[in-house]
Homo-oligomer: A and B are copies of this chain.
């Protein structure tokens, strides 16, 4: 029975596998897909608080905080207090923008590989299935 296979584990494996494709492609830039994606989100929302960013990327606030700190240490992101003294305001630095620009084509390439492998409607069908989970 195929029903014996854990749906969760299938997903986790695929997630790890696919992540590694993106990670390899982005490796020349020294960032992985989680970092690159977070950087993009910060760029789109900047200046943004950890809470808002966490909501957007569907990650725990503390996770986003720690991940952002790594980006800060790399010099790709600036973290400063906002008007609201509680808030940490995130913005992409110049170095971060360089990475964003350089990573675009690398990311595109993997996206296209995935699309090629899934076929014309594959992406849409996959996304539809994942959306209900």
Binding site for B on A (CB under 8 A): 2-3, 5-19, 21-22, 33-34, 37, 57-59, 107, 110-111, 114-115, 117-118, 122-127, 129-130, 132-133
Contact = CB atoms under 8 A, between A and B. Distances in A.
Contacts of A117: 132-133
Contact of A129 (B3, B21, B126): B126
B111 A7 contact: yes
Contacts of A17: 58, 133
B133 A18 contact: yes
A49 to B, nearest CB: 20
Contacts of A133: 14, 17-18, 114, 117-118
A2 B130 contact: no
Given A6-B33, A7-B115, A16-B58, 12 more contacts: A2-B123, A3-B115, A3-B123, A8-B21, A9-B33, A10-B127, A12-B34, A13-B130, A14-B130, A118-B129, A122-B129, A126-B126
A12 B19 contact: yes
